[in-house]
Amino acid sequence: MITICNSYWIHAERQARSWAARHGLVSEGEQARRLGRMGHGRMAGWLTPHADPAELGVKAEWGAFVALVDDRFDQEGQSPAEVRKLLQQLLEVLSGADRSEHPVAAVRALGDLWGRTKAAARPG
């Protein structure tokens, strides 16, 4: 069996980088370059070789989101209480709370990503 990479992976890569910057998950400079080296678009392309461009882009954004939130915990030396607080806020988004105006970038970003993911999901 030959495994192929989705030909839209470059578009998904650009989409994930743009999305992360737009939501404040990365800033200019080294953070943006590091995100670019992660290759979330290519990874999404290998995992879903037949996905349409929109679906592929969302998958790349999910990869970027998870990696960047994890990096925040690791690099900023978050205390257990700070991690717990952020995780609670993220869970509230998954429970349906509107956090589009939240001061924390990760919470706002998840609100956007979760809303688009739910809208595209099949019932059940």
Q: 17-67 pLDDT, tens per residue? A: 999 999 999 988 888 899 999 999 999 999 999 999 999 999 999 999 999
**pLDDT at 121 exceeding the cut of 80:** no
- Confidence (pLDDT) at 44: 97
- The CA distance from 7 to 42, in Å, is 9
- The CA distance from 66 to 20, in Å, is 11
Q: In b/e form, how buried is each residue of 1-40, taking b as 16+ CB within 10 angstroms?
A: eeeeebebbebbbebbbebbeebebbeeeebeeebeebbb
